[in-house]
Amino acid sequence: MADTATTTETVRVARPPRPAGRRPRDTPGVFGALSHVALVVWAILVIGPILWTFLASFKTNAEIVGDAPLALPQAYDWGAWGRAWDKAHIGRYMLNTALVVGASTFLTMLFGSMAAYVLARYRFFGNRAVYYLFVSGLAFPVFLALVPLFFVVRNLGLIDTHLGVILVYVAYSLPFTVFFLSAFFRTLPTSVAEAAMMDGASHTRTFFQIMMPMARPGLVSITIFNIIGQWNQYLLPIVLLSGAVEDKWLLTQGIANINTNAGYEADWPGLFAALSMAILPMLVVYIIFQRQIQSGLTAGAVK
Amino acid sequence: MSYAGGTPKDITRRQMLRRIGLTALVAGPAGGLLSACATSGGAPAASAAPSAGGAATSAANPFGVKADAPLEVVIFKGGLGDSYATDVHEPMYTKEFPKASVKHVATQQIAQTLQPRFASGDVPDFIANSGSDLMDNGALQSEGQLLDLTALFDAPSIDDPAKKIRDTLIPGTVESGQIAGKPYILNYVSSGYGLWYNGKLFQEKGWTPPKTFDEFTALCETIKKAGITPYAYAGKNAAYYQYWMILITAAKIEGNQLLMDVDNLVDGVWTRDAMKKSAAAWAAIGKFMDKSYEGLIHTEVQTRQNQDKVALYPSGSWLENEQKSNTPESFEYAMTPTPSLTPADKMPFEAIRSAAGEPYIIPAKAKNTAGALEYARIMLSKEGAKGFTEKSGSLTVVTGAADGLPLSPGLKSVNDALKAAGANIVTYSSFENWYKELETELRKQTNSLMFGRISADEFCANMQKKADSVKSDSSITKQNRTV
Amino acid sequence: MRWRGGGGAGGFSGAKARTYGFVFSFLLVPLVLYVVFVIGPYAQAFYISLTNWKGISATPTFVGMENFTRLLGDEVFWAAVRHHGLLLLALPLVTIAVALFFAFLLNIGGGRRGRTAGVPGSKFYRVVYFFPQVLAVAVVGVLFQAVYRPDGTGVLNGLLALAGIDPVGWLIEPDLALWSIMAVLVWQLVGFYVVLFSAGMSAIPQDVFEAAALDGAGRFRLFFGITLPLIWDTIQVGWVYLGIAAFDCFALVQVLSVDRGGPDNATTVLPLEIWRTAFTFSKFGYASAMGVALFFLTITFAALSLRVTRRERIEL
């Protein structure tokens, strides 16, 4: 394993500039054709269900439950979208989620990188113990903690508050963040930080002004990782934000609720309209930032 | 869960949702924790007698209501609305006690509204404890917060002072509200259970609802030839609609004792002859179902029925209301009792399962418990019950109260069926709330049976095995019912 | 205590104290948060697993190992464990295989004679493939309800009907249901790993491929002989991520499966059983015992994965 890695490193260092596009490409053969088919099929598999959801929001109940699932809607009207918007509060849930995830990701990154940095670069009594305490959190299934967690948060008076959700998100994101970032901090060269310390910079200043910028690829990567993870979190908000505070709910709760109601009132177009509303903003944000998301997400991981 | 301890009951629409479990996604463990309750043993007894109303009792005023004492009524404003209280029951009360002021509180968050008030002791007088955020009646009872309603059920009926109220109600109503042997809950809404079909379609095709399983099978053959699925239920989330049918048929064969024995975890009850016969009969009907129905949810199957793709569907009287927005002109709901299996059946074909639900409670520490009892007595009068049905579209537990009302077709057929059944009521099942593990297993085994993966004998053996394990599980609090 | 980078540190005690203060101040908040919200509840859960607590009484009764001995004979629990093991093995295998295949096509497969180039439109594919990753699991679950509907009205069955194939009961055939749910996870996750592996592959120097091509290596040798070994460490990182993701299947099973975990326990997973035992059956003690079992399963997996990948050693 280590050998392979070393090889890779060596090769990577010796990497020449890529001689791109010097020769005209040959026509792709059978393999090219087949591979194209495979790629197109998967693209359809990805786009298909999402596109179908959009179309279904314009259909009627009878069309959705009818025998022609692939047919186009008979008429395009926005009635279901209006119902979903009014009843399902998708807009509010999305805003709530954005606020919560924004705050918790920021705090996760701040506290996570602080802890990871100290654990990676300083040798002190209990360092390894603390490190393994954090990392062992990776192996804990959230489920195990669900019930006691409810009581802990309630006893702190934080149940049904966004603050409670934010703090819990931060706490549960720390293991992976610390694990990932402390590995990352260890790979960074020490000379710059040493020079800064020699110049009399405090530990804190060295961290924020020297180390943080140097660790940027890793930080971006894990930030995106945390945003996606917390945005999709499903269990914790259910426990921490009860039905009494529906106006504080997060998006995943809203979707589950719409699913329940749609099953109950049999308003499938409304369900699919609500789903579309949940998907659309993500699609827009993703398309705008896809380059940053993709490169950021992989930069740290491939390192 | 001792909440279930004494409140076996019908499924109201909201309870049904919780049953279906999809709301578990939303209500979540917090809800589960609030409604969870450890044991009912050692519960302090609530004051049995109503606190002094301050006035002398008489035949017309059996609880001694003080004429000018204010009354606070909290109503859950959900599917039933609250106009039945503001337009019917409260005016009836103020008509009787013109000097009394009635304070009406409507809410959708019963628990959030009332939990702090219970803690502080400042409680309202009468509560419709309903909705997804209802308070745990078992927990309230165990803390001595609920008034024993025995006095209510023993009081003279407004319509016929010679009769006790308990005798004017559908059999089983009082018992269905018992916790640890005493009635603490008034379950007010009555639901009938049976097979639902499109009356217009049946008329047009010349089909008649089957009275026996032989007729049932023959009809299924006929319907199948017409290109319609003869019978279906939703396996994905509503397997209990089907197990009700199996239990009803078994009870018709052997009598209600069978269902009581099921609740009491009597040894060998699941492998009794009646249970086996019922399971086998329904498994045979299951052969007419397409296997895809196991993967559909109730509203999907119900919408298919509205499109006349499914002929017969097992459900309760909330069905018509639930499908209101999807029911086309050509569809008219009608309900028929489950068919008889053998000529030796203990109960006649007309017998139907009917059960009471939608709990109303009176806090033991209320300031005007006498007034609250009187308010409940008004609800249980024919006039009060009739008004309720008019406003909410649901039948009540008061017998004969809906007579002469213009009912929707489906409600009318339930009412007719109830009248035809008379005293032949298939009893409710308490194990559904008492022993959730048994209930979960029954859903699983019911799907397995109905979609042909196990035989009736295996079904009975598997259920008995589970019942035995529940019985021997010391960590599960055992309950007992005698009626 | 030593500032790892600065060899000469530890000179005078003031600096040492400052360093200690710094370490303390940086660790304090994260550690408190973590201990209060994560370690505390987990510790309680371990204790609860030794009681018969039902979720409300103040003093749970201690029952020792009773819950654990009961687990041994609980067939639903073992079904859940089996399914979990299957997920832990199959999900990473399938996802990585599919992702590698696509990443290879997108980055290397399009070229000839050692000239590595992606097929035309590879950027578009990467963008599309990755998109499901940003959707909430709850959204994906609801979406696939319609895709998998078991009769002719399902999207997938509608497609099959075009080819003249009868409807398939994706979620109602006991032998098929778990795989159908796993396919949803693969659907959602593959894009991430395509991007991940693409990054790994683009880091492989061009001349390595050219040299191999001169030796007459075909695409298969390019893939198995060169690409695969050279991005092996990236694959291992992916394996760990996927192992963690496999525990995330709860929401999908809850939304998609028949009678939640059915038919006949065919799709039940440990989180679902813990949920049901605690919140439906009110047996928090027993549920916690299941949770402890799940913990040891996870930690075994994590230990094995870490041992295999040795990420730390590489990073050091």
Closest residue in chain B to residue A249, using alpha carbons only: B26
CA pair distance C159, A65, nearest whole angstrom: 15
CA pair distance B320, B196, nearest whole angstrom: 9
- Name the residue facing A19 among C40, C206, C316 (closest C-beta): C206
Domain span at residue B367? 4-191+356-405
- Confidence label for A78 from pLDDT (cuts 50, 70 and 90): confident
Closest residue in chain C to residue B29, using alpha carbons only: C279
Closest residue in chain C to residue A151, using alpha carbons only: C41
Identify from A13, A22, A39 which residue to disrupt to test chain C contact, counting C C-beta atoms within 10 A and taking the largest count: A39
Contact C129 A49 (CB under 8 A): no
Query: Which residue carries 């326990």 as its tokens?
Result: C265
CA pair distance C114, C125, nearest whole angstrom: 22
pLDDT at B424 over 50: yes
Closest residue in chain C to residue A108, using alpha carbons only: C30
CA pair distance A26, B461, nearest whole angstrom: 69
Contact C149 A36 (CB under 8 A): no
pLDDT score at C13: 65
Query: Which residue carries 């009068």 as its tokens?
Result: B381
**Cβ(C133)–Cβ(A229) below 8 Å:** no
pLDDT score at B482: 80
Query: Which residue carries 């909410």 as its tokens?
Result: B392
Which of these, C184, C191, C186, C200, lies nearest to C235 by C-alpha position?
Answer: C200
To the nearest whole angstrom, how far is the Cα of C174 from the nearest Cα of chain A? 24
**Identity of residue B429:** S
Q: For the domain that residue B393 is a member of, what is the CATH number?
A: 3.40.190.10
Query: Which residue carries 């201690």 as its tokens?
Result: C62
Which of these, B166, B216, B215, B208, lies nearest to B187 by C-alpha position?
Answer: B166
Question: Is 1.10.3720.10 the CATH classification of the domain at C66-315?
Answer: yes
Contact A238 B323 (CB under 8 A): no
- Confidence label for A283 from pLDDT (cuts 50, 70 and 90): confident
The total of other beta-carbon atoms located within 10 Å of residue B471's CB is: 15
- Name the residue facing B17 among A62, A65, A264 (closest C-beta): A264
Q: At what angle do helices A162-187 and A216-231 cross, to 10 degrees?
A: 150
pLDDT at B74 over 60: yes
CA pair distance A275, B65, nearest whole angstrom: 55
| Rounded average pLDDT over A217-246 | 79
Q: How far apart are the first and last CA of chain C?
A: 19
Render pLDDT for B341-366 as a digit per residue (tens, 0 to 9): 988 999 999 999 988 878 899 999 99
Closest residue in chain A to residue C287, using alpha carbons only: A144
| Rounded average pLDDT over B96-105 | 91
Burial of B351 (0-12, 13-18, 19+ CB in 10 A): buried
- Chain A with chain B: Cβ pairs closer than 8 A: 74
Say if strands B425-426 and B352-361 run parallel, antiparallel, or are unpaired. parallel
Contact B29 A146 (CB under 8 A): yes
Q: What are the angstrom distances between the C-alpha of B445 and each of A159, A164, B453?
A: 39, 41, 9
Give pLDDT < 70 ranges for chain C: 1-13, 54-59, 109-118, 279, 302, 306, 308-316
Contact B30 A239 (CB under 8 A): yes
Which one-letter DSSP state was computed for residue A238? H
Which of these, B294, B320, B288, lies nearest to B305 by C-alpha position?
Answer: B320
To the nearest whole angstrom, how far is the Cα of A241 from the nearest Cα of chain C? 16
pLDDT at B429 over 80: yes
pLDDT score at B280: 97
Residues 114-143 in C contacting A (C-alpha not used; CB under 8 Å): 115, 117, 119, 121, 124-139, 142-143
Render pLDDT for B452-481 as a digit per residue (tens, 0 to 9): 999 999 999 999 999 999 999 887 777 788
- Name the residue facing B448 among C169, C264, C283 (closest C-beta): C264
Contact C279 B436 (CB under 8 A): no
Contact C264 B292 (CB under 8 A): no
In sequence order, which ranges of B399-475 are alpha helices (DSSP H)? 409-421, 431-434, 436-450, 456-472
Say if strands B352-361 and B186-198 run parallel, antiparallel, or are unpaired. antiparallel
pLDDT score at C313: 40
Render pLDDT for B236-276 as a digit per residue (tens, 0 to 9): 988 999 999 999 999 999 999 999 999 999 999 999 999 99
Closest residue in chain A to residue C159, using alpha carbons only: A70
Query: Which residue carries 């309903």 as its tokens?
Result: B130
Residues 274-313 in C contacting A (C-alpha not used; CB under 8 Å): 274-275, 278, 284, 287-288, 291-292, 294-295, 298-299, 301-302, 308-313
**Cis amide linkage into residue C263, ω under 30° from 0:** yes
pLDDT score at B23: 34
Higher per-residue confidence, B219 vs C271: B219
pLDDT score at C230: 85
Identify from C52, C76, C280, C288 which residue to disrupt to test chain B contact, counting B C-beta atoms within 10 A and taking the largest count: C280
Which chain C residues are closer than 8 Å to A255 by Cβ?
136, 138-139, 142
pLDDT score at C58: 53
Q: What are the angstrom distances between the C-alpha of B328 and each of A261, A292, B304?
A: 21, 52, 12
Interface residues of B toward C, Cβ cutoff 8 Å, are 1, 21, 24-25, 29, 32-33, 36-39, 139, 235-237, 239, 290-292, 294-296, 300, 436-437, 440, 443-444, 447-448, 451, 453, 475
- Chain A with chain C: Cβ pairs closer than 8 A: 336
pLDDT score at B467: 97
Which chain B residues are closer than 8 Å to A65 by Cβ?
300, 303-304, 307
pLDDT score at B3: 32
Contact B25 C150 (CB under 8 A): no
> In sequence order, what DSSP letters do the residues of A6-42 get, joined into one string?
HHHHHHHHTPPPP-TT-SPPPPP-HHHHHHHHHHHHH
| Rounded average pLDDT over B228-236 | 95
- Confidence label for A19 from pLDDT (cuts 50, 70 and 90): very low
Structure tokens at B404: 């002469």
Residue B417 covered by a domain: no
Query: Which residue carries 């009843």 as its tokens?
Result: A87
**Cβ(B473)–Cβ(C63) below 8 Å:** no
User: Vertex A208, ends A207 and A213: CA angle to 5°?
Assistant: 95
Q: Chain C within 8 Å of A186 (Cβ-Cβ)? A: yes
- Name the residue facing C41 among A117, A148, A294 (closest C-beta): A148
Render pLDDT for B12-29 as a digit per residue (tens, 0 to 9): 433 433 333 333 333 333
Dihedral angle, C-alpha A246, A248, A251, A254, nearest 10 °: 0
Largest Cα separation within chain A, whole Å, is: 76
Q: Specify the pTM.
A: 0.79
Q: Domains plus CATH for chain A?
A: 85-302 (1.10.3720.10)
To the nearest whole angstrom, how far is the Cα of A144 from the nearest Cα of chain B? 13
pLDDT score at A186: 85
Contact C263 B239 (CB under 8 A): no
Which chain B residues are closer than 8 Å to A239 by Cβ?
28-30
Render pLDDT for C54-77 as a digit per residue (tens, 0 to 9): 665 556 788 889 999 999 989 899
Contact C148 B295 (CB under 8 A): yes
Contact A263 B33 (CB under 8 A): no
Q: Where in chain C is the domain with CATH 1.10.3720.10?
A: 66-315
Say if strands A122-123 and B102-107 run parallel, antiparallel, or are unpaired. unpaired
pLDDT score at B54: 60
Domain count, chain B: 1
Handedness of CA B433, C281, B26, B323 (dihedral sign): negative
pLDDT at A57 over 50: yes
To the nearest whole angstrom, how far is the Cα of C264 from the nearest Cα of chain A? 23
Render pLDDT for B367-396 as a digit per residue (tens, 0 to 9): 999 999 999 999 999 999 999 988 887 889
Please state, rounded to an integer, the average pLDDT across all residues of chain B. 83
Polymer length of chain C: 316
- Name the residue facing C263 among B32, B33, B447 (closest C-beta): B447
pLDDT score at A18: 42
CA pair distance B238, B247, nearest whole angstrom: 15
Distance of CA A288 to the CA centre of its chain: 16
**Cβ(B230)–Cβ(B288) below 8 Å:** yes
* Percent of chain A topping pLDDT 90: 21
